[in-house]
Structure 1
Amino acid sequence: MFTGIVEELGEIVAIEHHGDSAVLAVRGPLVTKDAVHGASIAVSGVCLTVVDVKGEVFTADAVKETLDRSSLGGLGPGAKVNLERPLRLSDRLGGHLVQGHVDGVGEIVSREPGERWDVVTVSLPPGLSRYLVGKGSITVDGVSLTVVEAGGDRFSVALIPTTLSLTTLGHKKPGDPVNLEVDVVAKYVERMIGDRP
């Protein structure tokens, strides 16, 4: 479980494709500090399991489901990624409950620069709009954000200076893909209500 509060901007060092899976090597000095084999690290919103750690670089496997549902398979060496270690039970929950289970890939539709922030509009894959409400939570590339406006096929968020400078969202432009995870609480509520007699 994560919070969507990015700890550092990492970098893809290498990605080896093996048929319908891949091995990613990711540089992240902060998140590798206490990483061990079997630990979880969110990479741009995707929960990956650490296979090995060498210095500031960790490797992780990405299976077909991960590659199909996220933008990780399209990344190459030098690509920047948002990194976050999992939440400890004693930590503050600064963002919202994030599983690292990507629901789909959206696309940056537009950016409207403000004096100190940007309003960014993102497209929604079919079927996800029912989980979004204005002032609700969404995770975009692993970043916990508050929805400004929720529409049928898109939503908007306001990015503060910290988000712009410390995450990949400060560099994304229209047409760029982003990993989306809707609020897990909304999915559970839908399931419980849908199963009522």
Structure 2
Amino acid sequence: MFTGIVEELGELTDLLALRDAARLSIRGKTVTEGTRHGDSIAVNGVCLTVVDVDDDIFTADVMKETLDRTALGSLVPGARVNLERAVRADQRLGGHIVQGHVDGTGTVAAREPAEHWETVRFTLPPGLARYVAEKGSVAVDGVSLTVAALHDEGFSVGLIPTTLNLTTLGLRRPGDPVNIEVDVIAKYVERLTVAHRADAAS
């Protein structure tokens, strides 16, 4: 489990394309401290299992389904990525519950700079819109964000300078793809209420 509080901006140093998978090599000085084979690190919001660690570079295997369903497949060496290690039980939950299981990809629709922050609007796949609520939580490229407003095709958020400077969201431009993970609680609530309604109708 993760919190959506990015620990550092890392760099993709290599991407080895395989027939039905890929192996990513990523530099991250902070997240590699104490990291071992089998540990979990979220890369742009995608939970990946560490295969190997060499100094400040870790490698992780990504299967085809993950490449198809996330924006990881569009990365090229040199790309900056958001990195977060799995949260420990004794840590503060600074953001919200993020599983690292991306629900789909959206795009940056528009950016509106202001004096002290920036409003960024994202598109959403139609099937995910029902899980996003104003003032609710959503993870974009692994960053825990509060939804400022809803739109016909997506939502907008307000980004403070810290988020703009310390995550990839400060680098994204209109048209760029982003990973979206909606609040898992919303999905469970829907699942339970649908089952309840079905039982009541039978």
Q: Quick one: distance in 1 between partners of 2:125 and 2:25?
A: 28
Q: Quick one: distance in 2 between partners of 1:45 and 1:150?
A: 22
Structure 1 gaps of 5+ residues are none
Cα distance, 1:85 vs structure 2: 0.4
Q: What corresponds to 2:114 in structure 1?
A: 114
Query: Which protein shows a greater Rg?
Result: 2
Q: What corresponds to 2:189 in structure 1?
A: 189
**Structure 2 counterparts to residues 93-112 of structure 1, below 5 A:** 93-112=93-112
Q: Which structure shows the higher helix fraction?
A: 2
Q: Quick one: distance in 2 between partners of 1:118 and 1:20?
A: 39
Q: Quick one: distance in 2 between partners of 1:126 and 1:17?
A: 30
**Structure 2 counterparts to residues 1-197 of structure 1, below 5 A:** 1-196=1-196, 197=199
Cα distance, 1:151 vs structure 2: 2.8
Q: Quick one: distance in 1 between partners of 2:102 and 2:152?
A: 19
Q: What's the Cα RMSD here? A: 0.6
Q: Quick one: distance in 1 between partners of 2:9 and 2:115?
A: 24
Once the two structures are superposed, residues 141-192 of structure 1 have per-residue CA deviations (whole angstroms, 9 ceiling, x without a partner) of: 0000000112342100000111000000011110111000000000000000
Following TM superposition, the consecutive aligned residue runs of length 4 or more in structure 1 with deviations greater than 6 angstroms are none
Question: Percent identity, aligned pairs only?
Answer: 62
| TM-score normalised according to structure 1 size | 0.99
Cα distance, 1:128 vs structure 2: 0.3
| TM-score normalised according to structure 2 size | 0.96
Structure 2 gaps of 5+ residues are none
**In terms of mean alpha carbon deviation, does 95-104 or 152-161 score higher?**
152-161
Residue type matched to 1:132 in 2?
V
1:116–1:160 Cα contact (<8 Å) kept: yes
Q: Quick one: distance in 1 between partners of 2:111 and 2:34?
A: 36
